Amino acid sequence: MMNELDATMAKLAERGKGILAADESTPTITKRFEAVGIESTEDSRRAYREMLLTTPNISDFIAGVILYEETLNQKMSNGMLFPEALKKMGILPGIKVDKGLVILPNTKDEQVTQGLDGLGERLAEYRKKGACFAKWRAVYAVSATTPSALAIRANAEGLASYAALCQANGIVPIVEPEVLIDGDHTIERCTEVTESVLHAVFHSLFKHKVKLEHMILKPSMVISGKKCPVKATAEQVGKATVMILKRTVPSAVPTVNFLSGGQSCEEATANLQAMNALSPHLPWNLSFSYARALQDYPMKIWRGDKKNVPAAQKMFYERAKLNSLASQGKYSTSMEKETSIA
């Protein structure tokens, strides 16, 4: 089992490659479809994800794909199951395993993630179906008084319990503590919160004896809130994020794959570039595990129409390529000219 975990990590931590988050729940992808005039059905969701995952040569930049349970069990138009098809393309299939968010009692409407009950049994089934890695997301709302110590501790314990169960079942865990971008907080406040969150997460991972060499950290970037009157530059985001990683993340963690968390496609790429431009000698691979920052433009181009598939796939390929370059410190904003849409 250790050899399997080693092999999965070697693939997912390959420099210049990232992870596509295609694990949107049915309600979430329905909202995104409706926003661009696509009817959300089981077949349209399958067709959309097949369009992304069959993009020619996408394995040049994508090492793994996080699937939603619906997609894990679906067949592509050629009759092949998605996990089997991905492996034939040289891409590892993963699976979202948490059961969403609930209000944490005795907090100001802060949230904790549910889904630990029966998780061991579910992981064993997911592994049989081809999943090599998994994802569990915790969220932290930022204000003057939140996240509370209770919310930080509860979510850290949930993430660590999940990660330990994954490794016991031969599955690499993606540990995703997302400090939400919603709000008017400054980058300085986000810095404080992120440091507290990551410190608690790694303390809990240590207590649960999680092998850091066999996990992926998927954090949010240290960034100002959407409504903050002073927007942090890419250079500020890169500097603050790397500073907090150095303070909190052990060098045993092979790769840190950031979520895009409400940023535009271009912002997420520029911020990743800024981190990798700081130093060529960081202890971790710094890469991406984006959903909307990779999919937004392709979805708007596709619009559920088969004739738009080539153009949508071309855009998806280009966005993945730009983020691959950013993960190596080789991206420039001048490269964006041909990869945006009106």
DSSP bridge pairs for 178 = 139
Question: Do 92 and 130 contact (CB within 8 A), yes or no?
Answer: no
28, HSE (Cβ side, Cα atoms, 13 Å): 9
Question: Do 315 and 55 contact (CB within 8 A), yes or no?
Answer: no
C-alpha pair distances (Å), 167 with each of 118, 153, 301:
15, 21, 39
The DSSP bridge pattern shows strands 216-217 and 255-258 to be parallel
Query: Radius of gyration over alpha carbons of the chain, in Å?
Result: 19
DSSP bridge pairs for 67 = 22, 95
Residue 330 neighbours by CB under 8 Å, 6+ apart: none
176 given a catalytic annotation: yes
- Residue 231 CA to chain centroid, in angstroms? 23
309: alpha, beta or left, given left = phi > 0 and alpha = psi -120 to 50? alpha
CA distance 286 to 23: 21
Buried b (16+ CB within 10 A) or exposed e, 297-316: bbbbbbebeeebbeebbbbb
Kindly name the residue from 218, 300, 318, 321 that is annotated as catalytic: 218
Kindly name the residue from 50, 110, 157, 176 that is annotated as catalytic: 176
Q: Which residues are catalytic?
A: 176, 218
